[in-house]
Amino acid sequence: MTDCISFVVMRQRRLAEALTADEGNKVKKSTSRLAGLLGRGGREMISAARVAREYLGAADTGELLGRVGQTISALPHAEHLDKRFIQASYRGDLSRPPDDLLAGSNVFYVTEQGRLYLDCTAGHYQMTWGYNHPELSALVREALDAGIVWDDHSNIPGNTVKRLAGRLVEAANDAVSPGPELLDDPKALNTVLLGVCTGSVAVNAALKIALKHHEVVRPDVEPVLISLEGNYHGTDFLAQRLRGMWKEFFHRIKVIEIEPNDITALRKAFAVHRGQVAAMFCELVMMNREAILLDEDFVGEARARCDEADACLVIDEIQSGFWYPRCFLYHQYGILPDILVVGKGMTAGLHPLSAIVYNRRHDRLAQYDAISTNGNAPLAAVAGLGCMGLIESRGEQIADLSRHYFDRLQELPAAYPQRVAAIHGHGLLAGVKFRNVKDAIEVHRRLLERGLWTRVHAYHEGHSTILTKLALAADRRVADFVVNAFHETIRETNHA
Protein backbone atom coordinates (compact mmCIF):
# COMPACT_ATOMS: atom_id res chain seq x y z
CA MET A 1 0.00 0.00 0.00
CA THR A 2 2.97 2.29 0.61
CA ASP A 3 3.89 1.86 -3.05
CA CYS A 4 0.37 2.87 -4.04
CA ILE A 5 0.46 6.02 -1.89
CA SER A 6 3.88 6.87 -3.32
CA PHE A 7 2.39 6.52 -6.78
CA VAL A 8 -0.38 8.98 -5.96
CA VAL A 9 2.07 11.54 -4.61
CA MET A 10 4.27 11.10 -7.66
CA ARG A 11 1.27 11.38 -9.95
CA GLN A 12 0.17 14.63 -8.30
CA ARG A 13 3.66 16.05 -8.78
CA ARG A 14 3.73 15.00 -12.42
CA LEU A 15 0.33 16.51 -13.08
CA ALA A 16 1.51 19.81 -11.64
CA GLU A 17 4.71 19.73 -13.70
CA ALA A 18 2.81 18.80 -16.86
CA LEU A 19 0.86 22.04 -16.82
CA THR A 20 3.86 23.82 -18.37
CA ALA A 21 4.50 21.12 -21.01
CA ASP A 22 2.62 20.50 -24.27
CA GLU A 23 1.03 17.33 -22.92
CA GLY A 24 0.08 19.17 -19.76
CA ASN A 25 -1.50 21.97 -21.79
CA LYS A 26 -3.74 19.43 -23.51
CA VAL A 27 -4.79 18.01 -20.14
CA LYS A 28 -5.33 21.51 -18.83
CA LYS A 29 -7.44 22.52 -21.84
CA SER A 30 -9.56 19.37 -21.65
CA THR A 31 -9.94 19.71 -17.90
CA SER A 32 -10.90 23.38 -18.15
CA ARG A 33 -13.80 22.57 -20.47
CA LEU A 34 -15.23 20.05 -18.06
CA ALA A 35 -14.41 22.27 -15.09
CA GLY A 36 -16.40 25.07 -16.69
CA LEU A 37 -19.44 22.82 -16.88
CA LEU A 38 -19.08 21.83 -13.23
CA GLY A 39 -18.79 25.41 -12.05
CA ARG A 40 -17.12 26.58 -8.85
CA GLY A 41 -14.46 24.15 -7.67
CA GLY A 42 -14.75 22.15 -10.89
CA ARG A 43 -11.03 22.10 -11.64
CA GLU A 44 -10.22 20.78 -8.16
CA MET A 45 -12.94 18.12 -8.43
CA ILE A 46 -11.61 16.87 -11.76
CA SER A 47 -8.06 16.78 -10.44
CA ALA A 48 -9.19 14.84 -7.38
CA ALA A 49 -11.17 12.37 -9.52
CA ARG A 50 -8.20 11.85 -11.83
CA VAL A 51 -5.83 11.12 -8.95
CA ALA A 52 -8.40 8.82 -7.30
CA ARG A 53 -8.82 6.89 -10.54
CA GLU A 54 -5.05 6.53 -10.88
CA TYR A 55 -4.83 5.39 -7.27
CA LEU A 56 -7.45 2.68 -7.77
CA GLY A 57 -5.85 1.53 -11.00
CA ALA A 58 -2.36 1.26 -9.53
CA ALA A 59 -3.27 -0.79 -6.46
CA ASP A 60 -3.72 -4.55 -6.28
CA THR A 61 -7.13 -5.84 -5.20
CA GLY A 62 -5.63 -7.21 -2.00
CA GLU A 63 -4.14 -3.82 -1.14
CA LEU A 64 -7.45 -2.05 -1.70
CA LEU A 65 -9.35 -4.61 0.38
CA GLY A 66 -6.92 -3.88 3.22
CA ARG A 67 -7.97 -0.21 3.16
CA VAL A 68 -11.72 -0.50 2.56
CA GLY A 69 -13.56 1.86 4.89
CA GLN A 70 -10.54 4.11 5.44
CA THR A 71 -10.08 7.70 4.34
CA ILE A 72 -7.07 7.75 2.04
CA SER A 73 -5.03 10.69 3.28
CA ALA A 74 -2.90 10.81 0.12
CA LEU A 75 -5.93 11.61 -2.03
CA PRO A 76 -7.05 15.23 -2.44
CA HIS A 77 -10.57 15.85 -1.17
CA ALA A 78 -13.07 17.28 -3.63
CA GLU A 79 -15.33 20.16 -2.70
CA HIS A 80 -18.84 18.77 -2.95
CA LEU A 81 -21.42 20.30 -5.26
CA ASP A 82 -24.68 21.58 -3.87
CA LYS A 83 -27.10 18.68 -3.39
CA ARG A 84 -30.12 20.62 -2.19
CA PHE A 85 -31.81 20.47 -5.59
CA ILE A 86 -31.93 16.65 -5.52
CA GLN A 87 -35.22 15.21 -4.26
CA ALA A 88 -35.43 14.32 -0.58
CA SER A 89 -35.88 10.58 -1.22
CA TYR A 90 -32.36 10.53 -2.70
CA ARG A 91 -30.82 12.34 0.26
CA GLY A 92 -31.17 15.80 -1.19
CA ASP A 93 -32.33 17.00 2.23
CA LEU A 94 -29.05 16.22 4.01
CA SER A 95 -28.17 18.84 6.59
CA ARG A 96 -24.49 17.86 6.52
CA PRO A 97 -22.16 18.13 3.50
CA PRO A 98 -22.62 15.11 1.21
CA ASP A 99 -19.86 12.60 0.56
CA ASP A 100 -20.88 11.08 -2.77
CA LEU A 101 -19.02 9.01 -5.34
CA LEU A 102 -15.96 10.66 -6.90
CA ALA A 103 -14.26 7.91 -8.93
CA GLY A 104 -14.53 4.14 -9.32
CA SER A 105 -12.63 1.16 -10.71
CA ASN A 106 -13.43 -2.54 -10.64
CA VAL A 107 -15.58 -3.10 -7.52
CA PHE A 108 -14.15 -0.13 -5.59
CA TYR A 109 -15.03 3.53 -5.44
CA VAL A 110 -13.68 6.61 -3.70
CA THR A 111 -15.93 9.33 -2.29
CA GLU A 112 -15.54 13.09 -2.52
CA GLN A 113 -13.85 13.09 0.87
CA GLY A 114 -11.42 10.32 -0.04
CA ARG A 115 -13.11 7.34 1.65
CA LEU A 116 -12.64 3.95 0.00
CA TYR A 117 -15.67 1.66 -0.44
CA LEU A 118 -16.23 -1.85 -1.74
CA ASP A 119 -19.40 -1.88 -3.84
CA CYS A 120 -21.22 -5.14 -3.09
CA THR A 121 -24.24 -4.36 -5.30
CA ALA A 122 -22.71 -3.53 -8.70
CA GLY A 123 -23.96 0.05 -8.63
CA HIS A 124 -27.74 -0.14 -8.76
CA TYR A 125 -27.44 -3.83 -9.78
CA GLN A 126 -26.50 -2.88 -13.36
CA MET A 127 -22.69 -2.56 -13.42
CA THR A 128 -21.99 -6.08 -14.70
CA TRP A 129 -18.22 -5.65 -14.75
CA GLY A 130 -17.90 -3.03 -12.06
CA TYR A 131 -16.71 0.53 -12.59
CA ASN A 132 -14.97 1.53 -15.84
CA HIS A 133 -13.85 -1.93 -16.93
CA PRO A 134 -10.65 -1.34 -18.97
CA GLU A 135 -11.58 -3.66 -21.85
CA LEU A 136 -15.07 -2.23 -22.23
CA SER A 137 -13.76 1.33 -21.91
CA ALA A 138 -11.19 0.66 -24.64
CA LEU A 139 -13.85 -0.96 -26.82
CA VAL A 140 -16.12 2.09 -26.57
CA ARG A 141 -13.23 4.43 -27.48
CA GLU A 142 -12.37 2.20 -30.44
CA ALA A 143 -15.99 2.27 -31.59
CA LEU A 144 -16.10 6.06 -31.43
CA ASP A 145 -12.86 6.29 -33.41
CA ALA A 146 -14.39 3.92 -35.99
CA GLY A 147 -17.35 6.24 -36.48
CA ILE A 148 -19.95 4.34 -34.47
CA VAL A 149 -22.55 6.91 -33.48
CA TRP A 150 -24.02 7.40 -30.01
CA ASP A 151 -27.60 7.04 -31.13
CA ASP A 152 -29.79 7.08 -34.22
CA HIS A 153 -33.35 6.62 -35.41
CA SER A 154 -34.87 3.23 -34.72
CA ASN A 155 -35.72 2.81 -38.42
CA ILE A 156 -32.03 2.65 -39.35
CA PRO A 157 -30.36 0.49 -36.68
CA GLY A 158 -26.59 0.35 -37.09
CA ASN A 159 -24.67 -2.87 -37.64
CA THR A 160 -23.83 -3.13 -33.94
CA VAL A 161 -27.56 -3.17 -33.10
CA LYS A 162 -28.26 -5.86 -35.69
CA ARG A 163 -25.37 -7.96 -34.42
CA LEU A 164 -26.54 -7.58 -30.82
CA ALA A 165 -30.00 -8.82 -31.84
CA GLY A 166 -28.37 -11.93 -33.32
CA ARG A 167 -26.24 -12.48 -30.23
CA LEU A 168 -29.31 -12.22 -28.01
CA VAL A 169 -31.07 -14.87 -30.11
CA GLU A 170 -27.99 -17.10 -29.80
CA ALA A 171 -27.88 -16.68 -26.03
CA ALA A 172 -31.65 -17.02 -25.53
CA ASN A 173 -31.77 -20.34 -27.40
CA ASP A 174 -28.38 -21.51 -26.13
CA ALA A 175 -27.37 -21.81 -29.79
CA VAL A 176 -23.99 -21.54 -31.46
CA SER A 177 -25.33 -19.15 -34.09
CA PRO A 178 -28.72 -17.68 -35.05
CA GLY A 179 -29.08 -19.73 -38.24
CA PRO A 180 -32.13 -19.96 -40.54
CA GLU A 181 -33.44 -22.98 -38.61
CA LEU A 182 -34.17 -20.71 -35.62
CA LEU A 183 -36.34 -18.44 -37.77
CA ASP A 184 -38.49 -21.44 -38.76
CA ASP A 185 -38.62 -23.00 -35.28
CA PRO A 186 -42.20 -22.62 -33.92
CA LYS A 187 -40.93 -22.40 -30.33
CA ALA A 188 -37.60 -20.62 -30.65
CA LEU A 189 -37.02 -17.12 -29.31
CA ASN A 190 -36.16 -15.65 -32.69
CA THR A 191 -37.41 -12.05 -32.66
CA VAL A 192 -35.82 -9.13 -30.81
CA LEU A 193 -37.20 -5.72 -29.89
CA LEU A 194 -34.19 -3.55 -29.05
CA GLY A 195 -35.92 -0.19 -29.39
CA VAL A 196 -36.49 0.19 -25.68
CA CYS A 197 -34.18 1.94 -23.29
CA THR A 198 -35.08 0.91 -19.74
CA GLY A 199 -36.32 -2.28 -18.16
CA SER A 200 -39.59 -0.62 -17.23
CA VAL A 201 -40.36 0.15 -20.89
CA ALA A 202 -39.27 -3.37 -21.87
CA VAL A 203 -41.67 -5.00 -19.39
CA ASN A 204 -44.40 -2.69 -20.62
CA ALA A 205 -43.70 -3.90 -24.17
CA ALA A 206 -43.85 -7.53 -23.01
CA LEU A 207 -47.23 -6.82 -21.42
CA LYS A 208 -48.49 -5.36 -24.68
CA ILE A 209 -47.22 -8.37 -26.66
CA ALA A 210 -48.99 -10.76 -24.28
CA LEU A 211 -52.23 -8.75 -24.36
CA LYS A 212 -52.15 -8.64 -28.18
CA HIS A 213 -51.77 -12.42 -28.25
CA HIS A 214 -54.69 -12.79 -25.86
CA GLU A 215 -56.81 -10.48 -28.02
CA VAL A 216 -56.15 -12.66 -31.07
CA VAL A 217 -56.76 -16.08 -29.51
CA ARG A 218 -59.56 -15.01 -27.11
CA PRO A 219 -61.34 -11.98 -28.57
CA ASP A 220 -63.76 -10.20 -26.24
CA VAL A 221 -62.45 -12.08 -23.16
CA GLU A 222 -61.17 -9.77 -20.45
CA PRO A 223 -57.55 -10.72 -19.74
CA VAL A 224 -56.15 -12.08 -16.49
CA LEU A 225 -52.47 -11.58 -15.64
CA ILE A 226 -50.76 -13.74 -13.03
CA SER A 227 -47.81 -12.33 -11.10
CA LEU A 228 -45.88 -13.16 -7.96
CA GLU A 229 -46.28 -11.37 -4.63
CA GLY A 230 -43.38 -8.97 -4.15
CA ASN A 231 -42.49 -8.73 -7.83
CA TYR A 232 -40.72 -5.73 -9.31
CA HIS A 233 -41.27 -5.36 -13.03
CA GLY A 234 -40.38 -1.68 -13.20
CA THR A 235 -42.05 1.66 -12.61
CA ASP A 236 -44.39 1.79 -15.58
CA PHE A 237 -48.05 2.35 -14.70
CA LEU A 238 -49.24 -1.05 -15.97
CA ALA A 239 -46.20 -2.94 -14.66
CA GLN A 240 -46.82 -1.51 -11.19
CA ARG A 241 -50.37 -2.86 -11.42
CA LEU A 242 -48.73 -6.32 -11.35
CA ARG A 243 -47.67 -5.61 -7.78
CA GLY A 244 -50.98 -4.28 -6.55
CA MET A 245 -50.68 -0.58 -7.33
CA TRP A 246 -53.18 1.68 -9.17
CA LYS A 247 -56.04 -0.84 -8.94
CA GLU A 248 -58.65 1.90 -9.19
CA PHE A 249 -57.49 2.87 -12.70
CA PHE A 250 -57.71 -0.55 -14.35
CA HIS A 251 -61.13 -2.07 -15.00
CA ARG A 252 -60.73 -4.56 -17.87
CA ILE A 253 -57.49 -6.20 -16.73
CA LYS A 254 -57.51 -8.49 -13.72
CA VAL A 255 -54.28 -9.23 -11.86
CA ILE A 256 -53.87 -12.29 -9.64
CA GLU A 257 -50.88 -12.28 -7.31
CA ILE A 258 -49.72 -15.60 -5.88
CA GLU A 259 -46.94 -16.50 -3.48
CA PRO A 260 -43.64 -17.47 -5.09
CA ASN A 261 -43.11 -21.26 -5.23
CA ASP A 262 -46.71 -22.02 -4.20
CA ILE A 263 -47.62 -24.64 -6.81
CA THR A 264 -51.09 -25.15 -5.31
CA ALA A 265 -51.90 -21.44 -5.69
CA LEU A 266 -50.50 -21.49 -9.21
CA ARG A 267 -52.74 -24.37 -10.29
CA LYS A 268 -55.74 -22.76 -8.61
CA ALA A 269 -55.19 -19.44 -10.40
CA PHE A 270 -55.18 -21.13 -13.80
CA ALA A 271 -58.16 -23.34 -12.90
CA VAL A 272 -60.35 -20.52 -11.55
CA HIS A 273 -59.57 -18.28 -14.53
CA ARG A 274 -59.59 -20.96 -17.20
CA GLY A 275 -59.80 -19.42 -20.66
CA GLN A 276 -58.91 -15.95 -19.38
CA VAL A 277 -55.20 -16.03 -18.54
CA ALA A 278 -53.16 -13.91 -20.95
CA ALA A 279 -49.76 -14.25 -19.29
CA MET A 280 -47.80 -15.18 -16.23
CA PHE A 281 -44.82 -13.03 -15.18
CA CYS A 282 -41.86 -14.45 -13.26
CA GLU A 283 -38.55 -13.12 -11.96
CA LEU A 284 -36.28 -16.06 -11.20
CA VAL A 285 -34.45 -14.20 -8.43
CA MET A 286 -36.87 -11.75 -6.81
CA MET A 287 -34.52 -9.03 -5.65
CA ASN A 288 -37.50 -6.94 -4.52
CA ARG A 289 -38.66 -9.87 -2.36
CA GLU A 290 -35.48 -10.50 -0.38
CA ALA A 291 -33.78 -12.34 -3.27
CA ILE A 292 -36.20 -15.30 -3.17
CA LEU A 293 -35.24 -17.89 -5.80
CA LEU A 294 -38.00 -19.62 -7.75
CA ASP A 295 -37.97 -23.42 -7.48
CA GLU A 296 -37.39 -25.50 -10.58
CA ASP A 297 -40.65 -27.40 -10.01
CA PHE A 298 -42.62 -24.16 -9.71
CA VAL A 299 -41.22 -22.71 -12.94
CA GLY A 300 -41.77 -26.02 -14.72
CA GLU A 301 -45.39 -26.03 -13.56
CA ALA A 302 -45.81 -22.44 -14.78
CA ARG A 303 -44.50 -23.51 -18.20
CA ALA A 304 -46.94 -26.44 -18.34
CA ARG A 305 -49.96 -24.38 -17.26
CA CYS A 306 -49.17 -21.62 -19.78
CA ASP A 307 -48.87 -24.21 -22.56
CA GLU A 308 -52.23 -25.69 -21.58
CA ALA A 309 -53.90 -22.24 -21.48
CA ASP A 310 -52.16 -20.83 -24.59
CA ALA A 311 -50.90 -18.03 -22.35
CA CYS A 312 -47.51 -16.34 -22.51
CA LEU A 313 -44.89 -17.27 -19.95
CA VAL A 314 -42.87 -14.09 -19.50
CA ILE A 315 -39.50 -14.47 -17.78
CA ASP A 316 -38.14 -11.16 -16.50
CA GLU A 317 -34.35 -11.46 -16.30
CA ILE A 318 -33.66 -7.75 -15.95
CA GLN A 319 -31.94 -8.54 -12.65
CA SER A 320 -30.48 -11.98 -13.34
CA GLY A 321 -29.59 -11.63 -17.02
CA PHE A 322 -25.88 -11.37 -17.94
CA TRP A 323 -24.78 -12.54 -14.48
CA TYR A 324 -24.27 -16.18 -15.49
CA PRO A 325 -21.95 -18.08 -17.85
CA ARG A 326 -24.74 -18.71 -20.39
CA CYS A 327 -26.11 -15.20 -19.88
CA PHE A 328 -29.59 -16.22 -18.71
CA LEU A 329 -30.55 -18.09 -15.57
CA TYR A 330 -33.63 -19.79 -17.08
CA HIS A 331 -31.34 -22.20 -18.97
CA GLN A 332 -30.71 -23.88 -15.63
CA TYR A 333 -34.46 -24.55 -15.29
CA GLY A 334 -34.72 -26.53 -18.52
CA ILE A 335 -37.54 -24.37 -19.93
CA LEU A 336 -37.96 -21.86 -22.71
CA PRO A 337 -40.17 -18.83 -22.09
CA ASP A 338 -42.48 -17.29 -24.67
CA ILE A 339 -41.12 -13.84 -23.90
CA LEU A 340 -37.78 -12.96 -22.30
CA VAL A 341 -37.18 -9.47 -20.91
CA VAL A 342 -33.62 -8.26 -20.32
CA GLY A 343 -31.98 -4.97 -19.39
CA LYS A 344 -29.77 -3.57 -16.60
CA GLY A 345 -26.55 -5.56 -17.00
CA MET A 346 -26.69 -5.93 -20.79
CA THR A 347 -24.62 -2.79 -21.41
CA ALA A 348 -22.66 -3.03 -18.13
CA GLY A 349 -23.93 0.36 -16.98
CA LEU A 350 -22.60 2.42 -19.91
CA HIS A 351 -26.01 3.39 -21.29
CA PRO A 352 -29.47 1.98 -20.55
CA LEU A 353 -30.56 -0.44 -23.24
CA SER A 354 -33.08 -3.23 -22.81
CA ALA A 355 -34.58 -5.90 -25.03
CA ILE A 356 -37.50 -8.27 -25.44
CA VAL A 357 -36.71 -11.62 -27.09
CA TYR A 358 -39.74 -13.61 -28.17
CA ASN A 359 -41.19 -16.02 -30.72
CA ARG A 360 -42.08 -14.64 -34.13
CA ARG A 361 -45.73 -15.66 -33.81
CA HIS A 362 -46.10 -13.01 -31.09
CA ASP A 363 -44.72 -10.25 -33.33
CA ARG A 364 -47.93 -8.23 -33.59
CA LEU A 365 -47.02 -4.79 -32.25
CA ALA A 366 -47.00 -1.85 -34.65
CA GLN A 367 -43.76 0.10 -35.08
CA TYR A 368 -44.39 2.70 -32.38
CA ASP A 369 -46.46 0.63 -29.95
CA ALA A 370 -43.36 0.13 -27.79
CA ILE A 371 -40.37 2.38 -28.23
CA SER A 372 -37.89 4.60 -26.40
CA THR A 373 -36.20 7.61 -27.94
CA ASN A 374 -32.80 6.12 -27.07
CA GLY A 375 -33.52 2.51 -27.93
CA ASN A 376 -31.48 0.81 -30.69
CA ALA A 377 -28.47 2.95 -29.69
CA PRO A 378 -25.42 1.79 -31.71
CA LEU A 379 -22.80 2.77 -29.11
CA ALA A 380 -24.79 1.11 -26.31
CA ALA A 381 -25.02 -1.99 -28.51
CA VAL A 382 -21.21 -2.03 -28.68
CA ALA A 383 -21.14 -2.16 -24.88
CA GLY A 384 -23.71 -4.97 -24.99
CA LEU A 385 -21.63 -6.99 -27.45
CA GLY A 386 -18.52 -6.39 -25.35
CA CYS A 387 -20.28 -7.45 -22.17
CA MET A 388 -21.55 -10.68 -23.77
CA GLY A 389 -18.08 -11.34 -25.19
CA LEU A 390 -16.50 -11.06 -21.76
CA ILE A 391 -19.10 -13.42 -20.30
CA GLU A 392 -18.43 -15.96 -23.04
CA SER A 393 -14.66 -15.83 -22.59
CA ARG A 394 -14.78 -15.97 -18.79
CA GLY A 395 -17.60 -18.43 -18.23
CA GLU A 396 -15.59 -20.81 -16.04
CA GLN A 397 -14.31 -17.94 -13.92
CA ILE A 398 -17.85 -16.60 -13.43
CA ALA A 399 -19.20 -20.04 -12.52
CA ASP A 400 -16.37 -20.62 -10.03
CA LEU A 401 -16.83 -17.22 -8.37
CA SER A 402 -20.61 -17.71 -8.14
CA ARG A 403 -20.29 -21.13 -6.54
CA HIS A 404 -17.55 -20.04 -4.15
CA TYR A 405 -19.41 -16.93 -2.95
CA PHE A 406 -22.78 -18.65 -2.48
CA ASP A 407 -21.21 -21.66 -0.78
CA ARG A 408 -19.31 -19.45 1.65
CA LEU A 409 -22.47 -17.50 2.50
CA GLN A 410 -23.99 -20.77 3.75
CA GLU A 411 -21.58 -20.49 6.68
CA LEU A 412 -23.65 -17.67 8.17
CA PRO A 413 -26.89 -19.50 9.09
CA ALA A 414 -24.78 -22.47 10.24
CA ALA A 415 -22.62 -20.27 12.50
CA TYR A 416 -25.38 -17.97 13.79
CA PRO A 417 -28.65 -19.97 13.66
CA GLN A 418 -30.34 -17.65 16.17
CA ARG A 419 -29.56 -14.59 14.05
CA VAL A 420 -29.44 -15.67 10.39
CA ALA A 421 -32.41 -17.60 9.03
CA ALA A 422 -31.26 -18.45 5.50
CA ILE A 423 -29.34 -17.45 2.41
CA HIS A 424 -31.58 -16.50 -0.50
CA GLY A 425 -30.84 -16.12 -4.18
CA HIS A 426 -28.48 -17.77 -6.63
CA GLY A 427 -24.76 -17.25 -7.15
CA LEU A 428 -23.72 -13.61 -6.96
CA LEU A 429 -27.34 -12.46 -6.52
CA ALA A 430 -27.63 -13.25 -2.84
CA GLY A 431 -29.55 -12.17 0.23
CA VAL A 432 -28.68 -12.79 3.87
CA LYS A 433 -32.05 -13.27 5.62
CA PHE A 434 -32.04 -12.32 9.32
CA ARG A 435 -34.61 -13.54 11.82
CA ASN A 436 -35.04 -10.04 13.24
CA VAL A 437 -35.44 -6.86 11.20
CA LYS A 438 -33.45 -4.89 13.80
CA ASP A 439 -30.49 -7.23 13.30
CA ALA A 440 -30.65 -6.74 9.53
CA ILE A 441 -30.70 -2.96 9.87
CA GLU A 442 -27.89 -2.90 12.44
CA VAL A 443 -25.63 -5.26 10.49
CA HIS A 444 -26.26 -3.22 7.35
CA ARG A 445 -25.33 -0.01 9.20
CA ARG A 446 -22.12 -1.52 10.52
CA LEU A 447 -21.16 -2.94 7.14
CA LEU A 448 -21.52 0.55 5.70
CA GLU A 449 -19.27 1.89 8.46
CA ARG A 450 -16.73 -0.75 7.44
CA GLY A 451 -16.88 0.52 3.86
CA LEU A 452 -19.07 -2.22 2.33
CA TRP A 453 -21.92 -0.84 0.26
CA THR A 454 -24.89 -3.24 0.52
CA ARG A 455 -28.66 -2.81 0.48
CA VAL A 456 -31.16 -3.85 3.16
CA HIS A 457 -34.77 -4.91 2.64
CA ALA A 458 -36.56 -3.82 5.78
CA TYR A 459 -39.33 -1.56 4.50
CA HIS A 460 -42.07 -4.21 4.18
CA GLU A 461 -43.44 -6.24 7.08
CA GLY A 462 -41.39 -9.40 7.49
CA HIS A 463 -38.53 -8.19 5.31
CA SER A 464 -35.15 -8.48 7.03
CA THR A 465 -32.60 -9.25 4.34
CA ILE A 466 -29.28 -7.68 3.33
CA LEU A 467 -28.84 -7.88 -0.45
CA THR A 468 -25.62 -8.24 -2.41
CA LYS A 469 -24.93 -8.57 -6.13
CA LEU A 470 -21.19 -8.73 -6.73
CA ALA A 471 -19.99 -7.53 -10.12
CA LEU A 472 -18.35 -10.11 -12.38
CA ALA A 473 -15.08 -8.18 -12.02
CA ALA A 474 -14.82 -9.49 -8.43
CA ASP A 475 -12.64 -12.47 -7.54
CA ARG A 476 -12.39 -14.94 -4.68
CA ARG A 477 -10.51 -12.44 -2.54
CA VAL A 478 -13.43 -10.02 -2.80
CA ALA A 479 -15.98 -12.76 -2.12
CA ASP A 480 -14.06 -13.95 0.95
CA PHE A 481 -13.67 -10.39 2.20
CA VAL A 482 -17.43 -9.80 2.03
CA VAL A 483 -18.33 -13.05 3.79
CA ASN A 484 -15.66 -12.49 6.46
CA ALA A 485 -17.04 -8.99 7.02
CA PHE A 486 -20.49 -10.50 7.61
CA HIS A 487 -18.98 -12.93 10.14
CA GLU A 488 -17.16 -10.19 12.03
CA THR A 489 -20.09 -7.77 11.99
CA ILE A 490 -22.59 -10.36 13.20
CA ARG A 491 -20.24 -11.32 16.03
CA GLU A 492 -19.87 -7.66 16.97
CA THR A 493 -23.63 -7.19 17.17
CA ASN A 494 -23.88 -10.34 19.28
CA HIS A 495 -21.91 -8.56 22.00
CA ALA A 496 -23.36 -5.09 21.50
pLDDT above 90: residue 377: yes
Is 136 a domain residue?
no
Question: 210, 261, 264, 214: which is closest to 233 by C-alpha?
Answer: 210
pLDDT above 50: residue 157: yes
Q: What is the pLDDT of residues 159-216, one digit of tens each?
A: 999 999 999 999 999 987 777 778 888 889 999 999 999 999 999 999 999 999 999 9
Lowest-confidence segment of 20-29, 189-198, 345-354 by average pLDDT: 20-29
- 463: domain CATH number is 3.90.1150.10
Distance CA 358, CA 337 (A): 8
Confidence of residue 16 (pLDDT cuts 50, 70, 90): very low
Confidence of residue 275 (pLDDT cuts 50, 70, 90): very high
Higher pLDDT among residues 74 and 283, named by residue: 283
Write down the mean pLDDT value for the chain.
Answer: 90
Looking at residues 246-264, what average pLDDT do you find?
Answer: 91
Most confident of 11-15, 35-39, 194-198, 273-277: 273-277
Same domain? 387 vs 259: yes
Is 138 a domain residue?
no
Is 453 a domain residue?
yes
Q: What is the pLDDT of residues 278-299, one digit of tens each?
A: 999 999 999 999 999 999 999 9
pLDDT at 149: 95
pLDDT at 79: 74
pLDDT above 60: residue 389: yes
Same domain? 110 vs 154: no
- 249: domain CATH number is 3.40.640.10
Same domain? 89 vs 211: no
Q: What is the pLDDT of residues 296-310, one digit of tens each?
A: 999 999 999 999 999
Same domain? 386 vs 412: no
pLDDT above 80: residue 20: no
Same domain? 372 vs 402: no
Confidence of residue 494 (pLDDT cuts 50, 70, 90): confident
Same domain? 191 vs 278: yes
Last residue of a domain, one of 355, 370, 393: 393
Same domain? 208 vs 318: yes
Same domain? 362 vs 451: no
Last residue of a domain, one of 393, 408, 437: 393
pLDDT at 11: 53
- Percent of the chain scoring above 70 in pLDDT: 92
pLDDT above 60: residue 81: yes
Last residue of a domain, one of 119, 135, 167: 119
Lowest-confidence segment of 23-37, 68-82, 212-226, 409-423 by average pLDDT: 23-37
Three-class DSSP labels, 232-264: CCCCCHHHHHCCCCCHHHCCCCEEEEECCCCHH
Q: What is the pTM of this model?
A: 0.91
Q: What is the pLDDT of residues 101-124, one digit of tens each?
A: 999 999 999 999 899 999 999 999
Is 288 a domain residue?
yes
Same domain? 446 vs 491: yes
Same domain? 101 vs 190: no
- Percent of the chain scoring above 90 in pLDDT: 72
Confidence of residue 128 (pLDDT cuts 50, 70, 90): very high
Q: What is the pLDDT of residues 32-73, one digit of tens each?
A: 788 888 888 788 888 889 999 999 999 999 999 999 999 998
Q: Are 171 and 192 in contact (CB under 8 A)?
A: no
Is 161 a domain residue?
yes
Lowest-confidence segment of 19-28, 101-110, 421-430, 472-481 by average pLDDT: 19-28
pLDDT at 42: 82
pLDDT at 37: 87
pLDDT at 33: 84
Confidence of residue 90 (pLDDT cuts 50, 70, 90): confident
Q: What are phi and psi of 115, to 5 degrees?
A: -85, 140
Is 127 a domain residue?
no
Domains contained in the chain, number: 3
Same domain? 104 vs 151: no
pLDDT above 90: residue 455: yes
Looking at residues 226-249, what average pLDDT do you find?
Answer: 88
Is 24 a domain residue?
yes
pLDDT at 434: 98
Confidence of residue 18 (pLDDT cuts 50, 70, 90): very low
pLDDT at 19: 42
Is 131 a domain residue?
no
Same domain? 372 vs 468: no
Looking at residues 313-319, what average pLDDT do you find?
Answer: 98
Lowest-confidence segment of 30-44, 155-169, 244-258, 392-406 by average pLDDT: 30-44
Higher pLDDT among residues 287 and 29, named by residue: 287
Range of the domain at 77: 2-119
Higher pLDDT among residues 244 and 335, named by residue: 335
